[in-house]
Amino acid sequence: MTSTSVQSPSQASRRTAPLSAGSTLRRRRRSPRAVLLTVAGFIVAFVFASPYLVMLLDALRPSGEVLATPPRLLPKVWTLDAFVDVVSDPVFRGWLSTSLIVSVTSTVLVMLVAIPAAYFTARFRFRGRGLFLMLIIVTQMFAPTSLVVGIYREFYDWGLVNTYTSLILTDAAFNIAFALWILQGFFAAIPAEVEEAAVLDGAGRMRTLLQVMLPLTLPGVVTAITFTFIATWNEYVVALTLMQDESKKPLTVGISSYVTAYQQNWSDLFAASLIAIVPVVILFALIEKHLVGGLTAGAVK
Amino acid sequence: MARVLTDAPSGTRLAPARAPKPSIGGRASGPAPSSRRGRRRGANEASGWQALLWLSPALLLIAAIVIYPAITLFSTSFSEYSITGIRKGDAGFANYAGFLSSPDLPKVVLNTGIWVVAVVAITILIGLALAQFLSKDFWGRRVVRWAVIVPWAAALVITSQLFRLLFDYYHGTINAVLLALHVIPKPIDFLGNPPLLMASMILVGVYVSLPFTAYLFVAGLSAIPTDVYEAARIDGASPWQIYTTITLPLLRPAMLIAVVLNMIYVFNSFPIIWIMNGSNPGFGNDTLITYMYKIAFKSAQHDVGVAAAAGVFNVIVILIAVIVYVRLTRTRAENPS
């Protein structure tokens, strides 16, 4: 089932084109119906975005005001204090750098292992191909959550608890599946003739992949990178388990300490949250048009 | 995508959902006679050794970080551990017996069932409608799509923290809005009252699962050729007839993927329950996943062996759930009532 989509992304994305170009719909654009659709659209958008708007408003008021009773929708005092607080906090900067190091490294690692595998499975038939793709799906099914006890035991035995290495390896391994599905679809969509020419000119398979295929499938590669980066950036349960050293926690785990039983610093929590969320939302929005094609493979969450 | 699944043998595409063997695995359905776009023409045979060379980096990483921990989990579940995590010897089935006889387990299983069924069912229903809507062409659609993906892009743990405050008894925006609109006379303790807590967690679960699900359905919808609709319209079919007799059946492959993936994700979902139920003691509101985590890392028990048994149990439960669902849909597809 999941694998059904192995080669579909590119195709699906091609098929979205007629949808937006639907000429019959376009003609109705200024009809009452179209206005109604736009109004409904903005209601939908508001429903999805409003919790995060509350988050923004709470990040822009003094911490004490968040817990005022009764709560006010708009801040009485508008302030950037929470953002200043958070950014100037060395502990927060530690979490931020952990998140960056772990996400960037594991994304690179995913690409290094997934690109050759995706290319090869897209282009060749060989014994064990089905088995390999099955294995990939199994990794998706055994989310790190269900294996977390085993993962912890493994790194405990290897003395790697509390190291970037453990988190990077785990984030990378569980994100191969998704990257592979996206990439495979894009590779399969390039006619084989294109690279046969390069191969005939004497370029090896690897050079063909790097110099011919990757440039041609750049949107796919960018989509896969973005997906992987976001997934690793947002990872929680493995980091919560493996990174107990305060300075080595990533953002997702660290920021919870702004609100504990002992202190309730909601505006700092939300300022830090926004710093964590906004960049990935922008990244995600940038690849939105590839989502329809790219995501059929699996999911981020 | 739906097209891909229903149009049978196109290259290495996997068995279509309705084929006799809708294996979860990627079994190639034989060589393609001729693919529609002819893009499988370059699919050459390659030797196993060559394949191993290209696949080995991925295989190594998966073997070390997915397969090995899975084996570790399994062997741990049959071992006895001290509270500090030192292996003391074989436990046989004692860990399983301990886990299965735990007085909290029935409640936890019930919670898990409610959580998974409610979140997946509601997500699928709203997701279908949302996808229909997002597929329409209207001014501002891009902005709407951007807004819809925000809960998908944002870290689950952050969204969960946010909702913990939104649902708060004293300071929560949701109570404030309901009070201001005179819907309720006094604040509701959403997070302190078990049924309400479950409902609140389900709401958040649906909210964060919707974007992905809706996009899957948008992809499914966009794969349905428009001429089918034209033909139906010419034949005088009503919009509802078109939806139930054309759209929904053609969406079946997307539906299968959406349900199965959501089942896996929702079952394995950790942060929502972990955070929103964070201030309640005991296991009364836990699902199997958070229950296992508490046994392993948080509770006084701190029993690695029992937690590993719980982990193995969880893997089996989700596996069975997925297989049962896939089989059910297959029988339905083969004998349309």
Q: What residues form DSSP beta bridges with B28?
A: B14
Phi-psi region of A259 (alpha: psi -120 to 50; beta: other; left: phi over 0): beta
| pLDDT for A251 beyond 70 | yes
Helices (H), B135-155: 141-153
Helices B105-134 & B194-222 angle (0-180, nearest 10):
40
Please give the ipTM for the structure prediction.
0.83
Q: Are A209 and B100 contacting, i.e. CB atoms less than 8 angstroms apart?
A: no
Chain B residues whose CB is inside 8 A of the A200 CB are none
Chain A residues whose CB is inside 8 A of the B322 CB are 141
Counting every residue written for chain A, the total comes to 301
Summary mean pLDDT of chain B: 83
Of A2-11, A45-54, B132-141, B193-202, the least confident: A2-11
pLDDT-derived band of residue A18, with 50, 70 and 90 as boundaries? very low
pLDDT-derived band of residue B335, with 50, 70 and 90 as boundaries? low
Distance from A187 to chain B by nearest Cα, in Å?
10
Tokens of B203: 């709401």
How many whole angstroms from its chain centre is CA A14? 22
DSSP SS3 for B28: strand
pLDDT tens column, B40-97: 444 577 888 888 899 999 999 999 999 999 999 999 999 988 777 778 888 889 999 9
What is the value of pTM for the model shown?
0.84
Nearest to A154 among B72, B209, B289 (CB): B72
Cβ-based neighbours of A78, under 8 Å, separated by 6 or more: A60, A61
Instruction: Answer whether B215 sits within 8 Å of A291, measured CB to CB.
Output: yes
Tokens of B54: 């290209």
Chain B residues whose CB is inside 8 A of the A46 CB are 147
| pLDDT for B19 beyond 50 | no
Distance from B42 to chain A by nearest Cα, in Å?
5
User: What are the CA-CA distances from residue A263 to residues A69, A256, A259, A260, B167 (Å)?
Assistant: 18, 11, 6, 5, 19
Mutate to test the interface with B, among A182, A292, A295 (most CBs of B within 10 A): A292
Mutate to test the interface with B, among A30, A36, A48 (most CBs of B within 10 A): A48
Distance from A111 to chain B by nearest Cα, in Å?
10
Tokens of A284: 């995600």
The mean pLDDT value for B150-159 works out to 94
Cβ-based neighbours of B160, under 8 Å, separated by 6 or more: B204, B271, B272, B274, B275, B276
pLDDT tens column, B260-315: 889 999 999 999 999 999 888 889 999 999 999 999 988 777 788 999 999 999 99
| Closest chain B residue by Cα to residue A138 | B25
| pLDDT for A95 beyond 80 | yes
The mean pLDDT value for B225-249 works out to 88
Name the residue among A114, A131, A287, A108 with its Cα closest to residue A209.
A114
pLDDT for B9:
32
pLDDT for B43:
52
Which domains are seen in chain B, by residue range?
102-302 (1.10.3720.10)
Distance from B140 to chain A by nearest Cα, in Å?
6
Interatomic CA distance for residues B184 and B187, integer angstroms:
7
Helices A90-123 & B48-62 angle (0-180, nearest 10):
160
pLDDT for A263:
80
Distance from B186 to chain A by nearest Cα, in Å?
12
pLDDT tens column, A211-229: 888 988 888 899 899 989 9
Cβ-based neighbours of B246, under 8 Å, separated by 6 or more: B224, B228, B229, B232
More reliable by pLDDT, B336 or B181: B181
Nearest to B326 among A1, A8, A259 (CB): A1
pLDDT for B18:
34
Instruction: Answer whether A151 sits within 8 Å of B69, measured CB to CB.
Output: yes
- The CATH classification number of A83-297 equals 1.10.3720.10
Please report, for chain A, the start and end positions of each structural domain, with discontinuous segments joined by +. 83-297
